[in-house]
A and B are shown apart, each in its own frame.
Chain A
Amino acid sequence: MKFRVIIGICGILAIVFIISCQDEQSIDFKRYYGEGSQVYQTHCQNCHGSKGEGLASLIPPLTHVADLKKGKTSLPCIVQFGLQGKITVAGKQFEGNMPPSDLTPIEVAQVVIYVSNSFGNQHGFMSEDEVDKALGSCR
């Protein structure tokens, strides 16, 4: 009987832990996403549009960020360092010059989370550490 009670209590504790951990991440996600939307409006929206639609064949849309590879052309790297030359997005080729940004790593993380979970993208959470790591392998 005592044994069962202990197992029961442990089980309940485990569930509480899991829920609270998940909550922390989803709270982080919401916080990053909200802040990221502000960063997007200030730094990205003029060119890429309020719906991430881009501009004709001049500026690529942000609706297919899954296409972006690792390394130099990963989303955090493009946000931080800009992009020169050609890129193919959704089967369409774009050529031009995106200027580098003066965003802080936390702002890069926020806007990356916003973009990669908006405009039809669903990539979930990426922590500031992960963004830092991606930024370290840009060049």
Chain B
Amino acid sequence: MRSLNKVIIALLLFAACKSNNKKTLPIYGSRQAVTKTVNGQQVTDTVYQTIPDFTFVNQYGDSTGTKNLKKDIYVADFFFTSCPSICPVMQRNMLNVYTAFKDTADVKILSFTIDPRHDTVPVLKKYADKLGVTGNSWWFLLGDKDKVYDMAAKNFLVAVSQDSTAAGGYIHQGYFVLVDKQKRVRGAYDGTDMKQVNQLIDDIKTLKAEPATN
């Protein structure tokens, strides 16, 4: 009887370890099968949707974008500094992500402004300072409005729109979007929900541990 117990415990432990190690994050967006010829052999590969190249300006006035993110996992969100509705909740929660990874070289946060007319570089810098954000692990990015809105909808799969009837003049969803080093979307989390943001922090760790294939 005692040995049977031992066997059961061993099995349970084994099962627990296995399920913990196996976790991988899904890959979002459309995908295509592409057949190409490698060394005279036909190879079919899956090509995933990726975030297109962009070059915007950050809160320090530096021109930056995908070319500086080649080795980074990043979390993206869309906001504006004068936002009276969900932004403060989102940024309060994003501060937790920032605190968790600010000393981790290959994890970044990108907050794209959807109000480029008001949110100039000095406005973004002041906002970052007031939030207590320093260094280069969290960028507040100012870019061409059409390009930002287009990317939000098509690539980050977040709805953003201008609406004079909404508080602050804009409507946007409070998603935090997780992007891997291959520029693929790997998760979307409700930035107003602390539980989901904690899940995001866990998932970033999972993604960091993922072997660099492809």
Contact = CB atoms under 8 A, between A and B. Distances in A.
Contact of A47 (B88, B130, B131, B132): B88
B92 interface: yes
A55 interface: yes
A58 B84 contact: no
Contact of B84 (A47, A55, A56): A47
B130 A97 contact: no
Contacts, number: 29
Nearest to A53: B92
A46 B130 contact: no
A46 B131 contact: no
Contact of A55 (B82, B88, B129, B167): B88
A55 B130 CA distance: 9
Given A97-B82, A99-B167, A57 B130 contact: yes
Interface residues of A, number: 10
A49 interface: yes
A39 interface: no
A46 B85 contact: yes
A56 B86 contact: no
B91 A55 contact: yes
Interface residues of B, number: 15
Nearest to A98: B84
B195 to A, nearest CB: 14
Contacts of A47: 84, 88
B51 interface: no
B132 A46 contact: no
A47 B127 CA distance: 15
Contact of A58 (B85, B89, B131, B167): B131
Most buried by A among B82, B92, B129, B131: B92
A99 B84 contact: yes
B57 interface: no
Interface in A39-74: 46-47, 49, 55-59
Given A57-B131, A97-B82, A99-B84, 14 more contacts: A46-B84, A46-B86, A46-B89, A47-B84, A47-B88, A55-B88, A55-B91, A56-B95, A57-B129, A58-B88, A58-B91, A58-B130, A58-B131, A99-B167
Interface of B: 82, 84-86, 88-89, 91-92, 95, 127, 129-132, 167
16 contacts: A46-B86, A46-B88, A46-B89, A47-B84, A55-B88, A55-B131, A56-B95, A56-B130, A56-B131, A56-B132, A57-B131, A57-B132, A58-B88, A58-B91, A58-B127, A99-B167
